[in-house]
Amino acid sequence: MKAKYAGVCRRCGGRINVGDDIDWTKETGACHVTCKENIVKISKSCSVSTPIVPIQKVLEPIPTGLENEQVRLFWSDGEYLSGWMPSGSNPAIEWLEKLGLCHYVSGWGMHFERDAASETLVPGITIANGGSFTVKAADDFARPGINKRFETEYQTKIARLDKRAQAFAESISTGKPVILRSWSEECDGSVDECDVDNLYEYAMPNGTTKIERNHSY
């Protein structure tokens, strides 16, 4: 069958692109049809498989009936905080918050973001002057940036999975451990006079992972 989604081969750890020929079952997941036989044999015994590729997110459509609702900004002076506050129905304000255009400040209320308030959401209506706008106008303004952020996060996750898959493939082909990541954390208390441990996670030739802990004295 042809792959409908990008992913990672559960046999060899290599990248699966949309349209690649794959074998797929509910139990084993997606695998290349053309995996090398020796990689297949080793990978079938793996107890830890490569993580599943994340689903690419996009911002869902505006709820039906909310597009043309009006929101107006008004200036509020406070003892500790002053700024623009949105006025409109609860669903409209909640959608603005979802768009990242405003956030709730405890003891003050909904605070419209300064950068957004300096922009023009509707031609001829400057938000900073207290103009009103529709939820759709706000959505059109903010949606491209949100989807771009989702795309960046998705590509970052894919890059990490590609790096992980390559490490497993290298470990399987060379028969040697390959480092996946390293980090530091508080000592586990197994030795005296140590505050911080350095940890290293390795991809192992049998498809498992191994964490090595080194104490710093």
Cα separation, 5 vs 17, whole angstroms: 7
Choose among 3, 11, 4, 7: nearest CA to 168: 11
Between 135-174 and 37-44, two packed helices, what is the crossing angle to 10 degrees? 100
Cα separation, 51 vs 56, whole angstroms: 15
| pLDDT by position in tens, the chain (length 217) | 888 877 777 666 667 778 888 877 766 677 777 654 434 343 443 434 445 566 778 889 999 999 999 998 888 887 777 888 889 999 999 999 999 989 998 888 888 876 666 666 666 556 666 678 899 999 998 899 999 988 888 888 888 887 888 888 888 888 899 999 899 988 888 888 888 889 999 988 887 888 898 888 6
Two structure tokens written together for 75: 């200036």
Cα separation, 23 vs 8, whole angstroms: 12
3-state secondary structure of 81: coil
Two structure tokens written together for 190: 């197994």
Cα separation, 148 vs 6, whole angstroms: 19
pTM across the whole model: 0.56
* Domains of the chain, residue spans: 1-53, 54-174, 178-215
